[in-house]
Amino acid sequence: MRNRIYLCLAHMSGKEMKYIQEAFDTNWVVPLGPNVNGFEEDLKQFADPTKEVVALSAGTAAVHLSLIACGVKPGDEVICQSFTFSASCNPITYQGATPVLVDSEADSWNMDPQLLEQAILDRKQKTGRYPKAIMMVYLYGMPGRIDELLAIANKYQIPFIEDAAEGMGSRFDGRVVGTFGKYGVLSFNGNKMITTSGGGALICPDTASKQEVMFYATQAREAYPYYQHEKVGYNYRMSNICAGIGRGQMTVLADHLAHHRHVAQLYKEAFANVPGITFHDNPSPRYDSNFWLNTILLDADLRVKGQDQAYATAVQGAVGGAAGVTHAASSLHTAVEPNANVEAMRVCLDKAQIESRPLWKPMHCQPVFQSCPAYTNGVSESLFHRGLCLPSGPMVTDDDVQYIVQNILDAIEK
């Protein structure tokens, strides 16, 4: 039987062992040390040498600390892109603040500038205050209209956070995403462009902001000869061993980026003349996606084998590579779900040992955020109904792509 093809698996180059061995040899196995400093410098040089970087235990930790750094407190509101993974939104609630969810535009699938300004003005009218921060996301690595979004944020003097967890190495107008706003979030989870097994980083505007972020990331200790705490702190620093993996991974980042873009080109060419299937490509030359995950849209009237039985059986466990524990589904359906042909295609691919998954379900459609203010235009819901993520990582070969495409074509009813 053919080995399973996963969406995006980590790829170890072998160069990581040098740094890991140095950590063991010097006994630097704690959340500080030469690898942490070196990894931060490597990231800084890659992203923007004028900024500073803090290596952290997760991308979610970076999101949380960016909110703290922007002064988000209980009772505040933070604008967040609705079309994203929940890790963008969850940390807002950690601070006792309320997410204000803003829908996407149809070209990049990222935050809609017109809706953003509408949300800002409406929240000011309703609450008497502007939102405390704005967080956009680079969905599946695709850059968004960052110039327009940032202009609006600056107009109302609202700090801007870029969640570039999926976008490492993507560029807009030639500039690396995550470096436009006040703070930029990176992720090094096992399925990202590079990995530290688990981890993340926060791109900061200057040394003072880096020091403040590190203060909160290391339990917020005051300078006394005993443990004095006047703020609530967190244990969010990256270990020296994980940072060693990251240093080795940085040496192959360019290769990973080239491979993801190569796989995207193969998909683009394969689906170019397939009726009913649309590959999501860069909207214009200003956009240069890393194509972290390649995505397609299925027309609603495209018939897929087995779609009459879609959702007839409860899923066991989690779809999409989740490593955690899931609750058993309480029903076969939810109020908002992918179209039957999308679910049928996922099942067909799964039977062929190909991992795929629906697009992110918008946050304004998630029960946990149903009471949050939302400014929608139907774009993200429409995409969620029709979209599917395909294997894209550095372990995906040209032969794998050919096999995936052939199985998709074979699943279409003639």
The 3-class SS string of 343-365 reads HHHHHHHHHCCECCEECCCCHHH
Which stretches of 5-112 are DSSP H helices? 16-26, 34-47, 59-69, 86-94
Sign of CA dihedral 332, 334, 335, 337: negative
**Which residues, 6 or more positions from 215, have their beta carbon under 8 angstroms from its beta carbon?**
221, 231, 233
pTM for the predicted model, two decimal places: 0.96
Separation of alpha carbons 207 and 186, rounded Å: 18
What integer pLDDT is reported at residue 390 of this predicted model? 98
Q: Which of 41, 136, 14 is nearest to 80 (CA)?
A: 136
Bridge partners for 104 per DSSP: 111
Strand pairing category for 294-298 and 387-390: antiparallel
CATH topology of domain 254-411: Aspartate Aminotransferase, domain 1 (3.90.1150)
Residues forming CATH 3.90.1150.10 domain(s) in the chain: 254-411
Helix (H, G, I), strand (E, B) or coil at 3: coil
Domain 16-252 matching CATH 3.40.640.10: the answer reads: yes
What integer pLDDT is reported at residue 320 of this predicted model? 60
Please answer whether residues 107 and 260 qualify as being in contact, where contact means their C-beta atoms are separated by less than 8 angstroms: no
Per-residue confidence of the chain (414 residues) as pLDDT tens digits? 789 999 998 899 899 999 999 989 998 887 889 999 999 999 999 999 999 999 999 999 999 999 999 999 999 999 999 999 999 999 999 999 999 999 999 999 999 999 999 999 999 999 999 999 999 999 999 999 999 999 999 999 999 999 999 999 999 999 999 999 999 999 999 999 999 999 999 999 999 999 999 999 999 999 999 999 999 999 999 999 999 999 999 999 999 999 999 999 999 999 999 999 999 999 999 999 999 999 999 999 999 999 999 998 878 766 665 566 777 787 888 999 999 999 999 999 999 999 999 999 999 999 999 999 999 999 999 999 999 999 999 999 999 999 999 999 999 998
DSSP 8-state assignment for residue 5: B
Q: What share of the chain is helix, strand, coil (3-state, %, to 5)?
A: 40, 15, 45
Strand pairing category for 357-358 and 77-81: unpaired
Which stretches of 272-411 are DSSP H helices? 340-351, 379-386, 398-411
What integer pLDDT is reported at residue 325 of this predicted model? 76
Residue identified by tokens 């699938």 is 109
Residues forming CATH 3.40.640.10 domain(s) in the chain: 16-252
* Phi and psi torsions of 202, nearest 5°: -120, 120
Distances (CA, A) of 374 to 78, 253, 296, 360, 363: 12, 37, 26, 17, 9
User: Could you tell me how far CA 91 lies from the centroid of its own chain?
Assistant: 14
Please answer whether residues 62 and 135 qualify as being in contact, where contact means their C-beta atoms are separated by less than 8 angstroms: no
